[in-house]
Structure 1
């Protein structure tokens, strides 16, 4: 609490407004934030800096520290993305910090600027604080150039210029001076333009409007009776991973947080995986978050049109970019010094044929849901048929699979089942559109794919489905055959497969994606989303008590912010991987909905 940057960990709290976001540590330091887009050069990169203990040498951070500080407490304002941190010093003096990104309706549109607001006020005693604002450029390569005005500081970064407007004496910030906090201070780091009006009053207005926005959004959610606060926090976390300008949904806010210590499994997740986004939409639609669904369907329509009936990648940039060339950032040491730090993702070059199913499954909702402002049209259906043609043509071809193996390909069962689902759901859409000939065509294609899967994915020697055609390896994605309606929970083939998966992939309370070595050796951590898949499977076969016990265990592994990363250690339960991970939050929501008591039980 004396200006020391905490050792890197994922116990971080996100703020954001669906344009930009930031991750804030337990002491109120901004340690990660990218602007003007979630996949941009980070303004604050201390999370991957392996920052020294001496804050005087730290870079890529924004800290507000309390002299002689000894403790901190932190929590969100209820049902919002507004974070409150309270710092206390050794003399009992304390301060409050409120952090948020403005978001509210203004002039018949949503105001969500590339901006961060910090409000600081003394609570008790005579606190002395130091403000250190140190944005960096080119992935930690050099500090942003700062130019001070009378009541602002301009920061020239590699891809944008931001202006800090404040009622704090500018020299206090420029010189990083320690001073007594005797009045409420406001900091608005945003577009390089004059701040309209008085800064402290303006910040309070933004705070009030932003708080009202988030509370109203949460009020529209159809949440389960049990675990309400956990579901609300997960839903807000998912919404913060939306880039509303285009409707894209990123897989996580970070890059290169390793899946396990020193593993080299460091990936950039700040892009829109169509698979991940499908699961996000599935979960949020169950909660009634139609705004995110509708916006994402627009993103998908652009991706499908861009493909023109040809190959569709598994991942795109938030602005529909197809080229995501992977490179390393040499000036960042990595999380706890565990490089490399990667920018871009080679997965954009992979063949992953499950994506055709995820596009169709996400999109056909528009033909059935009358709440949507833009319902599915005949033109939309015809465009989806092009996607279906690809699914049918590729269902029995080798690909990299949903786990994105980099050096080998197989005919993956999950990919084939997703292609089956694409054809099956196109048949459903054709029926509702009154197109019996097209319905018959797609239903027949679905039957053809089903027959192939049942013949080649079923391994009679081991008595269960295998992860690939003609193989015998296990894979947690086989649990999704129930969710996709390919097989019923009480089917003996599913029960046999579940038994085999549990024997091979369950490690205590957690579940692996797979156990066979991959490009980087054997997995050393469990995959949180797969643990939630397993919990769902337990519930659906009647192992209710066990399912609830494992779910509570996962809830206990969340960060202070109520969120989860991608992976978890078998021993000790430490979180690893990129954060917050949309997959994991989806699993939390889906399990809470499935396991909760019905509302009718308390009425």
Structure 2
């Protein structure tokens, strides 16, 4: 009857839902265990990381004693999770929220777990077991009066609430490794478990009523946000859920958009391809702001775009591939001596793509700037000058080989990178025509045409009937699909490229990233959504809609997508929630609706 793995097993990645407060994100498994929670920030070394280290990573457990089954959902219009546990003796509902304050995020992390007895009696147990912070700290418990406090490196954690019946063994205080408790629910009963934490700061222990009210306030705050945007087309529920998950990835202190909530979740069972995505990629940030613009969201759009511009300017003159959530330029990679999810390592902090030349980011940035202006916004003189410099830089750089969108070690002349340069100059010309920048638009027009001629001469394969991955080679790459939406090509060549990609890289509704990936990883979720959008752009609306109908069903039970999905078993692989996957869904749905409307 048990609906969850044993404590010594790693839950499947499909088992996780995400909750957050604008500063960090927790992953909640179906069995009620919170197996990932960095404190205080998303990019902090996590005090709770059982998803990467089952034995010593740390977790917050709450579940019935004995066997049970689970159903769960997000409360409508929120990122607050409701889990229903059914046992042979009764039913209980757990509501999980990372609580926000009256004026935004709280100055500490506060997790509220409300437990309501619905019928019968259910014996519940809870454990708060901080981890070793990926092998860098040794947690210890301190008893202060009636309170028991856990320390893990610089993080201090306390447990409070009501009717949660903590257990304290004074005889074994020096050997304790966790805080524990138990209670029994009955029909109509209400218990509360609250976990609060700070980093290198005093700890505030709120009273139970304040935390309980905070859960309701957090629900109301999320619903207020959900009402500020609208999409009433097909797949509206899927779009709203993806928008809410995307909102979790927006780091409220700065407006930066994280690419994903986790690090080192493997892309395949072979291991090795484990990356840290808790940074703000220019590419992902641009796609995120584009989605926000299309929703008509003002505050997030302005915050994210302004942060991106300020960060680029502060760390210039070169455009970096990604930035830290605080606006700096991360350097280096740290390896941690822990086993990884299901023992598949490595576990790392940082990402080695930093320092690469990726020409496509210029198209992402200037394309976003064009959308921002089209939405009725105005550039200040400093922004206009910066974007002018970027456009001029593209004119000089586009002939160079780069690492491409997929951050490969060997630099080559990637087709989608050249298309991104075309997109950058096309957007710059648009901005000049709108009077938003004052650069040499004639130069940009000339270089834009040279780029198109070069692509036509070197990157089109008549034999394959497709744009290739690299100039002069026969491999294919799904990232060229992005340039149906960018406007580079929406005619017969893109339509033919779509067919070639599906033939070689397609597995049902899913696509591998590029040629040869079927041997080393699983299909990349975002690529399939790019395909749906590209189909709409070339006028194949019915195919686009049919593909979307299949894709939205591949999320987990609460609408979360990871980076990759196994083509046979439909299991999740890679980091999650993955921003690019959810952005692909949002932008594909909107594109299909726009194209159908003419």
Q: Residues of 1 paired with 2:578 and 2:510: CA distance?
A: 16
CA gap 1:175/1:498 in 2 versus in 1, 3 angstroms: closer
- 117, 121, 125: which is aligned to 1:126? 121
1:200 CA displacement: 2.2
Provide structure 1 residue ranges, at least 5 long, that are not aligned to the other structure: 52-57
The match for 1:419 is 421
- Establish whether residue 314 from structure 1 lines up as the match of residue 321 from structure 2: yes
Q: Residues of 2 paired with 1:165 and 1:363: CA distance?
A: 47
1:259 CA displacement: 1.4
The match for 2:492 is 492
- 164, 167, 173: which is aligned to 1:171? 167
The match for 2:197 is 190
- Establish whether residue 351 from structure 1 lines up as the match of residue 357 from structure 2: yes
1:391-450 per-residue CA deviation (whole Å, 9 max, x = no partner) reads: 2221111111101112x1101111111122222212221222266663333333323322
The match for 1:222 is 230
The match for 2:80 is 82
After TM superposition, the score normalised by the length of structure 2 is 0.90
Three-state SS of the structure 2 residue aligned to 1:43 is coil
Q: Residues of 2 paired with 1:543 and 1:322: CA distance?
A: 42
CA gap 1:175/1:200 in 2 versus in 1, 3 angstroms: closer
1:35 CA displacement: 1.7
Contact 1:254 1:578 in 2 (8 A): yes
CA gap 1:426/1:546 in 2 versus in 1, 3 angstroms: closer
Q: Residues of 2 paired with 1:244 and 1:444: CA distance?
A: 41
The match for 2:173 is none
Q: Residues of 1 paired with 2:404 and 2:586: CA distance?
A: 25
The match for 2:172 is none
Q: Residues of 1 paired with 2:98 and 2:436: CA distance?
A: 46
Q: Residues of 2 paired with 1:97 and 1:155: CA distance?
A: 24
Moved more, 265-274 or 440-449: 440-449
1:462 CA displacement: 4.0
> 1:242-281 maps to which residues of 2 (within 5 A)?
242-281=250-289
Contact 1:127 1:180 in 2 (8 A): yes
The match for 1:376 is 379
Q: Superposition RMSD on alpha carbons, in Å? A: 2.7
Q: Residues of 1 paired with 2:432 and 2:65: CA distance?
A: 67
Contact 1:153 1:165 in 2 (8 A): no
1:263 CA displacement: 3.8
- 323, 337, 340: which is aligned to 1:334? 340
> 1:534-573 maps to which residues of 2 (within 5 A)?
534-573=531-570
The match for 2:402 is 399
CA gap 1:152/1:356 in 2 versus in 1, 3 angstroms: farther
Contact 1:356 1:390 in 2 (8 A): no
Three-state SS of the structure 1 residue aligned to 2:47 is strand
1:38 CA displacement: 1.1
Contact 2:166 2:180 in 1 (8 A): no
1:170 CA displacement: 4.4
Three-state SS of the structure 2 residue aligned to 1:266 is coil
CA gap 1:65/1:179 in 2 versus in 1, 3 angstroms: same
Moved more, 463-472 or 549-558: 463-472
Contact 1:247 1:292 in 2 (8 A): yes
- Establish whether residue 8 from structure 1 lines up as the match of residue 16 from structure 2: no
Three-state SS of the structure 2 residue aligned to 1:95 is strand
Q: Residues of 1 paired with 2:5 and 2:528: CA distance?
A: 38
After TM superposition, the score normalised by the length of structure 1 is 0.89
The match for 1:137 is 132
Contact 1:325 1:346 in 2 (8 A): yes
Q: Residues of 2 paired with 1:256 and 1:96: CA distance?
A: 32
Contact 2:137 2:153 in 1 (8 A): no
Contact 1:134 1:143 in 2 (8 A): no
The match for 1:54 is none
Moved more, 134-143 or 498-507: 134-143
1:151 CA displacement: 5.0
- Establish whether residue 61 from structure 1 lines up as the match of residue 65 from structure 2: no
Three-state SS of the structure 2 residue aligned to 1:162 is strand
Contact 2:37 2:46 in 1 (8 A): yes
Contact 1:163 1:193 in 2 (8 A): no
1:390 CA displacement: 2.4
1:194 CA displacement: 5.8
- Establish whether residue 288 from structure 1 lines up as the match of residue 296 from structure 2: yes
CA gap 1:124/1:464 in 2 versus in 1, 3 angstroms: closer
Three-state SS of the structure 1 residue aligned to 2:472 is coil
1:110 CA displacement: 5.4
CA gap 1:385/1:483 in 2 versus in 1, 3 angstroms: same
Three-state SS of the structure 1 residue aligned to 2:261 is coil
Contact 2:485 2:537 in 1 (8 A): no
Contact 1:413 1:467 in 2 (8 A): yes
Aligned residue pairs total 580
